[in-house]
Amino acid sequence: MEVAGQEEGGGQRRVQLADHQVKCREGRVSRQALSDLVDELQAAKRSDHFDAREDERSAPNYYHQDPGPRSRGVTQWGTQGMCFAWMEQKASWGQYPSVSAVERDLKLIVFNALTYFGPKDVRNAEARSLFAASEQVLALTPHSVFECVFRSVYSIDTRIVE
């Protein structure tokens, strides 16, 4: 991971991450960087199990039986259903304010799968695999603008030593 200092004219700071850059400007991580992060997390999975929301026919009792108008998509155990299609949509609409918000939705996918599907179900194993892979991706990502700016301002070398 490389850290770049302040660019001339723009006052913009960057942290180089694997294949994309997280740009820190005006207290926010860029929408494109967060969208790229969602794509990178999606690429870390081994199957298409979490691409779309769970189908009520193939996963009976996954969703709350009588959700009411404000709680559509809520699971039987009270969490919001989540999938990568929704994460991509949220990223494209700029609804993720931070890396932590992306991480929270990813963990929601994993939690819901581990809660509903038994330990011998392939989706349970896939959720565990996704979680492990996502931890590696997220370990390389600054989780806040503060962390990004701090690294840049103080010229901290954040390369991972193997």
> pLDDT band at 33, cuts 50/70/90?
confident
What's the whole-number mean pLDDT along residues 132-157? 62
Supply the pLDDT for residue 67: 64
Structure tokens at 21: 């850059």
Q: Is the pLDDT score of 150 beyond 90?
A: no
> Looking at per-residue confidence, does 1 or 64 come out higher?
64
Q: Is 2 helix (H, G, I), strand (E, B) or coil?
A: strand
Domain architecture of the chain: domains with CATH = 30-141 (1.20.920.10)
Q: What's this model's pTM, rounded to 2 decimal places?
A: 0.69
pLDDT above 70 covers a percentage of the chain that reads: 66
| Distance of alpha carbon 97 from alpha carbon 138, whole angstroms | 16
